[in-house]
């Protein structure tokens, strides 16, 4: 195993996450080779990394290369970061080339957010497998520090410790060791919430769902606006993968709604297809329109408002967070019931995944880290604290017919959340 | 010893937060800071006898004055106590602390809360830059000038260059040290930024010259943030120490202080500087006064939290503290004295450049950092075995100067 990272190869460096993830290595002062199909594409990746760092100095650490240079360059690299398109056959093709040319002991990682680590390396040599793992940054890694580490079963303890330490110290990541399960930890929990919001939009409407589950419920962006940002095609890929390969208590909430499927077919992908729109469309006159799921038409935003939601937002604005949470706990209007249900389900689903998608030893803290540092969402245990502790949260869950997970039942009756200043995730504006 | 004023610790917000983007007002910032201080130091609000607030320009940034009253509004236990808001530009926080210290020293109160606060990201950078101009003589120096303060400190740079010669490389080095230290501070604004000397030395699109000479990397940050700390009399501290099982000799106290005011206009300061000796004689006087009151010398100080609103300000602080002779600050930069592992680290927290500069909060934050160093609680940016630390907080273009010496022992 290498004990120092002196040079890094980034494959798929033309892509957004490839360039930005590779840029984080360059920011640590490590010379990087950015590989793409053409030098121009690799150069574009470098510019992307420079923009993220906001420093021209970064160019001095990155050299553009094409895949024709792989055979010559890979033997000199200590860490090979794979970031090509999220297709198993394509990734396996690249891993075969890497396996042939890499020096023994060099680290190989993938930024894949959904494919199985074991499957990707299945056709590779023993040395490759024992040095291969998932190192999954969140988009954009310059702002979101979470890093899911998915180790291959053949990885030595020494390699695991080295990667963990390197990512934390040199790359300044907040690491979360996750299991090799679809969507790992962050996407599994995050997309459960997002897809359930898309399901409810069929009955409540797009604008209403995003209004009710907006930033005041502990997230930077409302859920459907988040799907627009991520891309509906990516959303489809993530939830379909999880739906096909898992079967937990919330299985149905991963089923892609038929209208979203149709939107993807019609290339209504969100922000990346501005003209055709997503859940929202901005007209040439800069009017914001919201989708009607039943006919996929757009209508002008109605300016939905609810007295209690506005009261929650005002309480957050004033810093009286307890008032905001008390409204969610106490009130029984249809609107607040929906906020309560989604929030409790998020907490319940998160606690139920401890030991399933993350190491049980870390308890809820691993999931807390990924949801705050990876999604900018109020972490689940912070909700438990705000609700008044595990017992009070369980009482609310029982009242709302939300499953009470074992890890919450076992939680001590004290402050659970270890993420500092979580109030920053309670946002008063839409 | 009986009239010693102790620092019982406090709380600082994460200076990387943008409270406006979170949709929160200055009252939320104040409330969270006070809540953090009470709960972290395990002090019951009802024990607080007086509250002093340091703030520069909430009237402009947040359309809110009367911050003493605003701050205590959240705590019915505080209703009725005396409060006051203090303003001395970037030295507002230190002036609030001075008022609290004086009252405790005089035996009027036993325990005070000092709060420094500034919400700055509520306006765009040009508007904010214009507001900051009110810390100078606005009509004569800043009216109609875009980003007036970097330009005023360009003049300090010019002055040094004229009197002693000054290489930009030394200023870039100072900025890089601050950014580097800030990476160790979990509450600093720039801890996750890409920044190093190479970047500071480079210009280009991402490190533009703001005025005529100083670059973006030489400037302190526009920051939303607040800090609170508790000052207490010997009597209160004794009972606090008993309750929490603390050794009195280990609790930091204010050993000395200095406070001077230079003429407001930079032009007048420049005239004085050209008479020879120290470039900022009033800053030097505040430092000397503080050391004299403390009965200490610069050699006794393990680290300094200084006012690096610009790299040139820290450059000036080096010699004014007596770490070098006048005009020789570059020696302390070159020989590594001011780095975290040096003989006298400056701004282990990252200072204003790396840590952030919520104007009215800075003086309180500096005192809190001095407390953390002396109490050996500064975590990854701890300077080992700090028994004595100094702070220098400057308002305007080196106009109001406040120095504190914080130490521990019998």
Rg (CA), chain B: 20
What distance in Å separates residue B217's CA from the closest CA in chain A? 11
CA neighbours closer than 13 Å in the CB half-sphere of residue B53: 25
Distance CA A119, CA A92 (A): 9
**Is a pLDDT exceeding 70 seen at residue A430?**
no
Are residues B202 and A56, on separate chains, in Cβ contact within 8 Å?
A: yes
Positive or negative: CA dihedral A395, A397, A399, A403? negative
Mean pLDDT of A344-368: 96
| Token pair 């109609």: residue | B144
User: Using N-to-C axis directions, what is the helix angle for B266-273 and B148-163, rounded to 10°?
Assistant: 10
Mean pLDDT of chain A: 96
Q: What single DSSP character describes residue B376?
A: T
Structural domain boundaries of chain A? 8-177, 186-425
> What was the pLDDT predicted at A114?
79
Q: Which two tokens stand for residue A122?
A: 């299945």
Strand partners, B85: B53
Q: What is the pLDDT of residues B52-82, one digit of tens each?
A: 999 999 999 999 999 999 999 989 999 999 9
Query: In chain A, what residues touch B17 (CB-CB under 8 Å)?
Result: 421, 424
Interface of B with A in 163-202 (CB under 8 A): 183, 186, 192-196, 198-199, 202
Mean pLDDT of A315-337: 97
Beta carbons of A214 and A206 less than 8 angstroms apart? no
B70, closest residue in chain A (CA to CA): A318
Are residues A172 and B23, on separate chains, in Cβ contact within 8 Å?
A: no
**Is a pLDDT exceeding 80 seen at residue A251?**
yes
Distance CA A252, CA A312 (A): 30
Q: Report the complex ipTM.
A: 0.94
If you classify domain B6-123+223-244 with CATH, what class do you get?
Answer: alpha beta
Distance CA A11, CA A18 (A): 7
**Which residues of A touch chain B, with CB atoms under 8 Å apart?**
27, 29, 53-58, 60, 142, 145, 172, 215, 313, 316-320, 420-421, 423-424, 426-429
Burial class (CB in 10 A: 0-12, 13-18, 19+), A169: exposed
B75, closest residue in chain A (CA to CA): A320
Beta carbons of A400 and A192 less than 8 angstroms apart? no
Mean pLDDT of A245-272: 97
Q: How far does chain A reach from its first CA to its final CA, in angstroms?
A: 49
Nearest-by-Cβ selection for A317 from B24, B74, B204: B24
Q: How confident is the model at residue B214 (pLDDT cuts 50, 70, 90)?
A: very high
Secondary structure (3-state) at B63: coil
Give the DSSP H/E element, type plus range, for residue B98: helix B92-105
Are residues A172 and B196, on separate chains, in Cβ contact within 8 Å?
A: no
Q: What is the pLDDT of residues B297-323, one digit of tens each?
A: 999 999 999 999 999 999 999 999 999
CB contact B22 to A (< 8 Å)? yes
Q: What are phi and psi of A80, to 5 degrees?
A: -115, 120
Are residues B194 and A27, on separate chains, in Cβ contact within 8 Å?
A: yes
Beta carbons of B270 and B159 less than 8 angstroms apart? yes
- Render A299-345 in DSSP notation, one character per residue: EE------HHHHHHHHHHHHT-HHHHHHHHHH--SHHHHHHHHHHHH
Are residues B27 and A319, on separate chains, in Cβ contact within 8 Å?
A: yes
Nearest-by-Cβ selection for A319 from B17, B32, B199: B32
Mutate to test the interface with A, among B19, B20, B22 (most CBs of A within 10 A): B22
Are residues B202 and A423, on separate chains, in Cβ contact within 8 Å?
A: no
How large is the greatest C-alpha to C-alpha distance in chain A, in angstroms?
A: 66
Nearest-by-Cβ selection for B23 from A145, A320, A429: A429
Who wins on pLDDT, A2 or A46? A46
Strands B388-395 and B303-305: parallel
What's the CATH number of domain A186-425, 1.10.1040.50, 1.10.3720.10, 1.10.8.640, 3.40.190.10?
1.10.1040.50
Q: What is the pLDDT of residues B132-152, one digit of tens each?
A: 999 999 999 999 999 999 999
Q: How far is CA B267 from CA B136, B155, B264, B270, B274, in A?
A: 11, 9, 9, 5, 11
Beta carbons of A212 and A381 less than 8 angstroms apart? no
Measured in whole angstroms, how far is the alpha carbon of residue B301 from the centre of its chain?
17
Distance CA B200, CA B204 (A): 10
Q: Which of A343-347, B203-207, B367-371 has the lowest mean pLDDT?
A: B203-207
Are residues A317 and B17, on separate chains, in Cβ contact within 8 Å?
A: no
Q: Could you say which architecture CATH assigns to the domain A8-177?
A: 3-Layer(aba) Sandwich (3.40)
What distance in Å separates residue B198's CA from the closest CA in chain A? 7
Are residues A57 and B21, on separate chains, in Cβ contact within 8 Å?
A: no
Are residues A428 and B30, on separate chains, in Cβ contact within 8 Å?
A: no
Rg (CA), chain A: 22
Q: What is the pLDDT of residues A186-232, one digit of tens each?
A: 999 999 999 999 999 999 999 999 999 999 999 999 999 999 999 99
Distance CA A275, CA A289 (A): 12
**Is a pLDDT exceeding 70 seen at residue B1?**
no
Query: Residues A263, A269, A275, A278: what is their CA dihedral angle, to the nearest 10 degrees?
Result: 70
Q: Give the contacts of A87 (CB within 8 A, at least 6 positions apart).
A: none
Are residues B24 and A215, on separate chains, in Cβ contact within 8 Å?
A: no
Helices vs strands, H then E, count in chain B: 14, 9
Q: How confident is the model at residue B2 (pLDDT cuts 50, 70, 90)?
A: low
> What was the pLDDT predicted at B243?
96
> What was the pLDDT predicted at B167?
95
CB contact B336 to A (< 8 Å)? no
> What was the pLDDT predicted at B203?
83
Are residues B23 and A427, on separate chains, in Cβ contact within 8 Å?
A: yes
Q: How confident is the model at residue A113 (pLDDT cuts 50, 70, 90)?
A: confident
Mean pLDDT of A119-146: 96
Q: What is the pLDDT of residues A64-98, one digit of tens each?
A: 999 999 999 999 999 999 999 988 999 999 999 99
CB contact B328 to A (< 8 Å)? no
> What was the pLDDT predicted at B15?
98
B30, closest residue in chain A (CA to CA): A319
Q: How far is CA A422 from CA B13, B20, B361, B386, in A?
A: 12, 16, 21, 32
Beta carbons of A128 and A100 less than 8 angstroms apart? no
Nearest-CA neighbor of B221 among B397, B356, B396?
A: B356
B29, closest residue in chain A (CA to CA): A319
pTM of full prediction above 0.90: yes
Nearest-CA neighbor of B262 among B159, B398, B149?
A: B398
What distance in Å separates residue B119's CA from the closest CA in chain A? 13
Mean pLDDT of A382-391: 98
CB contact B380 to A (< 8 Å)? no
Q: What are phi and psi of A33, to 5 degrees?
A: -110, 120
| Token pair 């040599």: residue | A125
Nearest-by-Cβ selection for A319 from B28, B205, B207: B28
Q: How far is CA A179 from CA A155, A250, A349, A419, in A?
A: 13, 19, 16, 22
A21: left (phi over 0), alpha (psi -120 to 50) or beta: alpha
> What was the pLDDT predicted at A43?
98
Are residues B206 and A55, on separate chains, in Cβ contact within 8 Å?
A: yes
Burial class (CB in 10 A: 0-12, 13-18, 19+), B79: exposed
Mean pLDDT of B359-371: 98
Q: Give the contacts of B160 (CB within 8 A, at least 6 positions apart).
A: B166, B279, B312, B315, B316, B327
Distance CA A46, CA A59 (A): 7
């Amino acid at each position: 195993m290498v004990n120092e990272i002196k040079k890094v190869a980034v494959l798929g460096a033309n892509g957004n996450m490839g360039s930005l993830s590779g840029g984080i290595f360059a920011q640590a002062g490590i010379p990087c080779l950015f590989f793409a199909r053409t030098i121009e594409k690799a150069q574009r990746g470098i510019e992307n990394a420079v923009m993220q760092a906001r420093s021209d100095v970064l160019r001095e650490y990155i050299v553009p290369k094409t895949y024709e240079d792989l055979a010559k360059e890979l033997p000199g690299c200590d860490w090979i970061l794979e970031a090509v398109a999220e297709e198993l056959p394509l990734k396996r093709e690249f891993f075969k080339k890497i396996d042939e040319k890499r020096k023994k002991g060099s680290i190989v990682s993938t930024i894949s957010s959904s494919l199985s680590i074991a499957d990707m390396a299945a056709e590779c040599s023993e040395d490759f497998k024992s040095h291969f793992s998932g190192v999954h940054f969140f988009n954009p890694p310059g702002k979101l520090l979470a890093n899911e580490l998915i180790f291959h079963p053949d990885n030595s303890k020494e390699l695991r410790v080295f990667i963990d330490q390197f990512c934390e110290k040199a790359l300044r990541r907040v690491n979360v060791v996750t299991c090799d399960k679809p969507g790992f930890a962050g996407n599994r929990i995050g997309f459960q919430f997002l897809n359930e919001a898309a399901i409810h939009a069929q009955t409540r409407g797009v604008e209403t769902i995003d209004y009710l589950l907006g930033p005041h419920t502990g997230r930077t962006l409302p859920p459907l606006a988040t799907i627009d940002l991520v891309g509906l095609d990516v959303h489809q890929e993530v939830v379909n993968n999880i739906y096909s390969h898992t079967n937990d208590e919330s299985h149905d909430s991963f089923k892609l709604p038929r209208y979203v499927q149709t939107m993807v077919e019609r290339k209504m992908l969100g922000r990346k297809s501005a003209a055709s729109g997503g859940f929202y469309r901005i007209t040439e006159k800069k009017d914001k329109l919201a989708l009607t799921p039943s006919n996929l038409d757009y209508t002008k935003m109605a300016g939905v408002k609810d007295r209690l939601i506005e009261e929650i937002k005002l309480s957050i604005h004033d810093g009286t967070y307890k008032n905001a949470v008390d409204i969610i706990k106490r009130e029984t209007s249809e609107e607040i019931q929906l906020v309560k249900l989604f929030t409790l389900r998020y907490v319940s689903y998160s606690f139920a995944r401890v030991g399933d998608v993350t190491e049980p030893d870390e308890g809820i803290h691993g999931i807390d880290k990924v949801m705050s540092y990876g999604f900018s969402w109020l972490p689940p245990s912070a909700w438990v604290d705000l609700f008044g502790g595990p017992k009070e949260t369980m009482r609310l869950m029982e009242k709302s017919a939300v499953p009470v997970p074992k890890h919450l039942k076992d939680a001590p009756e004290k402050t659970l959340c270890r993420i500092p200043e979580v109030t920053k995730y309670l946002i008063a504006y839409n | 010893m009986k009239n010693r004023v102790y620092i019982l610790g406090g709380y600082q917000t994460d200076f990387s937060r943008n409270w406006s983007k979170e949709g929160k007002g200055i009252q939320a910032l104040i409330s969270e800071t006070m809540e953090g201080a009470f709960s972290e130091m395990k002090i019951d609000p009802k024990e607080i006898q007086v509250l002093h607030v340091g703030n520069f320009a909430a009237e402009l940034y947040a359309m809110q004055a009367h911050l003493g009253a605003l701050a205590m509004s959240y705590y019915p236990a505080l209703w009725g106590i005396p409060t006051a808001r203090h303003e001395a530009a970037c030295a507002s926080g230190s002036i609030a602390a001075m008022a609290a210290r004086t009252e405790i020293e005089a035996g009027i109160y036993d325990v005070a809360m000092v709060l420094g606060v500034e919400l700055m990201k509520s306006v765009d950078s040009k508007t904010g830059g214009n507001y900051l101009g009110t810390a100078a003589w606005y009509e004569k120096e800043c009216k109609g000038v875009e980003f007036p303060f970097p330009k005023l400190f360009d003049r300090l740079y010019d002055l040094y260059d004229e009197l002693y010669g000054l290489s930009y490389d030394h200023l870039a080095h100072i900025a890089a040290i601050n950014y580097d230290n800030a990476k160790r501070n979990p509450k600093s604004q720039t801890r996750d930024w890409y920044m190093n000397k190479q970047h500071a030395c480079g210009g280009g699109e991402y490190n533009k010259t703001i005025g005529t000479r100083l670059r973006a990397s030489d400037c302190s940050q526009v920051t939303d943030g607040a800090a609170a700390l508790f000052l207490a009399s010997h009597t209160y501290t004794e009972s606090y120490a008993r309750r929490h099982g603390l050794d009195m000799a280990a609790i930091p106290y204010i050993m000395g202080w200095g406070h001077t005011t230079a003429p407001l206009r930079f032009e007048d300061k420049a005239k004085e500087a050209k008479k020879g000796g120290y470039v900022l004689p009033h800053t030097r006087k505040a430092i000397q006064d503080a050391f004299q009151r403390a009965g200490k010398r610069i050699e006794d100080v393990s680290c300094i939290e200084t006012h690096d609103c610009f790299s040139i300000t820290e450059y000036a602080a080096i010699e004014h503290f007596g770490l070098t002779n006048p005009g020789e600050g570059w020696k302390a930069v070159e020989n590594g004295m001011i780095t975290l592992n040096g003989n006298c680290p400056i701004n282990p927290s990252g200072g204003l450049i790396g840590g952030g500069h919520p104007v009215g909060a800075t003086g309180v934050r500096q005192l809190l950092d001095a407390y953390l160093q002396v109490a050996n609680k500064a975590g990854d940016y701890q300077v080992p075995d700090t028994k004595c630390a100094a702070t220098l907080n400057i308002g305007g273009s080196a106009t109001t100067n406040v120095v504190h010496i914080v130490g521990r022992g019998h």
